[in-house]
Amino acid sequence: MTTNNYQPTEIDDGISTPPELNIFTILRLGLFNLGVGLMAVLTLAVLNRVMITELAIPASIAAGTLALSQLVAPIRVWLGQLSDGKKIFGFHRTGYIRTGIVMAGVTILIAVQLVWILGTNIEVNGGWQWNPVTIGTSVGLGIIFILHGVALSASSTPFTALLVDISEEETRSKIVAIIWSMLMVGIVIGGITGNVFLGSLAVGETEENPLISVADLQTPINMLFLFVAGVVVILALVGTWNIEKKYSRFHLRASNEARQENIGLRQALKVLTSSRQTAIFFFFLMMVTISLFMQESVLEPYGGDVFGMGIGETTLLNSFWGVGILLGYSATGFLVIPRIGKKNTTRIGCVLVAACFLLIIFAGLTQNEEILKATMVLFGIAAGITTIGSLSLMLDLTVAETAGTFVGAWGLSQAMARGIAIALGGWVLDIGKLIFGSNLWLAYSTVFFSEALVALTAIVLLNKVNIKEFKESTRKATELVMEGDLD
């Protein structure tokens, strides 16, 4: 069966060629990513900081449970393929996006309540102890974060596939730059919001400032989580309204009937594995993601333990690197990539990321908050350059007929790596504490130095990426699958 027997569907709405997206529509679509950024601040800027520093939960437990939300990433391939072939509420992408984001909001609200149970147990016992409550609650927290990861996967994978559906290759780097800029706007706003809600909470245990109790933490943090979860759901609904129906080219690029009948998960995986470039890029994305996100579970505790910053102040660090990322995104999508290309852009970004981690280590040596804040802006710029370069390559290494499956695979790589990175950050920190004892700066520096090495190693894999080879092999495989001839 070929892909030329297109029959109109309700998504077509009588329009043979969907209109191009205008800037207002792109910004509205980006509201979804803005909401995801807000939610990321809750988990990896507020919750992990409170668990490790305020509640004295071991970093390996805190980071390990948080990492589970990313380690469920294999489901992304299935969810991507499912959105290619099966509709929810009449749409291939929108129904998944909205259902997933509602589930994500509910699970994060449950997670924070389990954290209070752990905190109360630690408070009563005078420190962390392995007992039925801590074991059972830790397991429960892990399960909730697994469900949270599934919910985010069900939402974000179809969303990225939707970007392929509504865009052409020549415009994607600009669309990606704008929409991922909105993600960082969400992180910046989340950092500011967290500072507003939590700015009055101090840190540490001194004669003038006793250790914060669980009761003192609960009310402001519960209010923050409830407020943000509601806002995120509303942003997702507004951002995706009428986008797929009006702008999707899904039905023009391949017959829906062919997708449902001929390209199931097994066939889609055959296309996915038809090129060695898929594996090369998969592991490259993993390396880049690990280099960027090992710091995610330790940055706020670093600010608290080494610099003596309060919860609101360390949450605000996300705003500094978020501003940097916005600058990096804008410059990369509109200025850098058009001039030097996607691979060269990504390569430069990896080098700059490594340099920034060395600066973060230096900031800790001086214990100067201003140096740390300035470095976070520079790190954001470097991360923005690397991210937009990688995402532009990612969408180029995606076949329209199985866009959801390919996006699921790339999402699998990134999410697995992010989960591994978050867990590694906590584990390396605990190992550093064992090795260096009371010298917390050296313990944290171990994490940042490891990230710099991973960023430089990723360049080796990037040099092997070949888009032309990928397109030739996957297009041929797709044609064979559609004809039923691929063994």
CATH number of the domain bearing residue 222:
1.20.1250.20
Please report the pLDDT score of residue 427 as a whole number.
Answer: 87
Integer CA distances (angstroms), 173 to 161, 180, 208, 275, 337, in order:
15, 10, 52, 23, 8
400 contact partners, CB below 8 Å, separation of at least 6 = 164, 253, 254
- For the CA atoms of the chain, what is the radius of gyration? 22
Side-chain-side CA neighbours of residue 411 (13 Å): 30
The answer as to whether 60 is a domain residue is yes
Please report the pLDDT score of residue 17 as a whole number.
Answer: 72
Integer CA distances (angstroms), 273 to 268, 276, 470, 473, in order:
9, 7, 10, 10
The answer as to whether 73 is a domain residue is yes
Residues 350 and 455 sit within 8 Å (Cβ to Cβ): yes
Residues 212 and 342 sit within 8 Å (Cβ to Cβ): no
Task: Per-residue pLDDT tens, the chain, 487 aa: give them.
Answer: 333 333 333 444 444 577 777 888 888 988 999 998 888 887 767 887 788 877 888 878 887 888 788 777 677 777 777 777 777 877 778 888 999 999 999 999 999 999 999 888 888 888 788 889 889 999 999 999 999 989 988 888 888 888 877 777 666 667 877 887 788 788 778 877 877 777 666 544 444 444 577 888 888 889 889 998 999 999 999 988 888 787 776 666 554 444 444 445 555 556 666 667 778 888 888 899 899 888 877 888 888 888 888 877 887 787 788 788 888 887 887 788 888 888 899 999 999 999 999 999 999 998 888 999 999 999 999 998 998 888 778 777 766 656 666 766 766 677 678 778 878 888 888 888 888 888 889 999 999 999 999 999 999 999 888 777 777 766 665 555 545 444 4
**In terms of pTM, does the model score above 0.85?**
no
The answer as to whether 124 is a domain residue is yes
The answer as to whether 362 is a domain residue is yes
**How many angstroms separate the CA atoms of 111 and 228, rounded?**
14
Helix spans in 199-310 (H): 214-240, 243-247, 250-253, 256-262, 265-272, 276-293, 299-307
Q: Extract the tokens encoding 45.
A: 């800027």
Please report the pLDDT score of residue 52 as a whole number.
Answer: 80
Please report the pLDDT score of residue 235 as a whole number.
Answer: 94
**How many angstroms separate the CA atoms of 55 and 20, rounded?**
51
**How many angstroms separate the CA atoms of 156 and 180, rounded?**
12
Side-chain-side CA neighbours of residue 62 (13 Å): 32
Please report the pLDDT score of residue 262 as a whole number.
Answer: 44
Please report the pLDDT score of residue 268 as a whole number.
Answer: 55
| 124 three-state secondary structure | helix
The answer as to whether 415 is a domain residue is yes
What is the number of helices (H) and of strands (E) in the chain?
Answer: 22, 0
Q: Extract the tokens encoding 329.
A: 């995104």
Phi, psi of 214 (to 5 degrees): -60, -40
Residue range of the domain that includes 394? 23-483
**How many angstroms separate the CA atoms of 434 and 323, rounded?**
35
**Total of domains in the chain:** 1
Residues 399 and 474 sit within 8 Å (Cβ to Cβ): yes
The answer as to whether 14 is a domain residue is no
The answer as to whether 11 is a domain residue is no
The answer as to whether 17 is a domain residue is no
Residues in the chain: 487
Please report the pLDDT score of residue 200 as a whole number.
Answer: 64
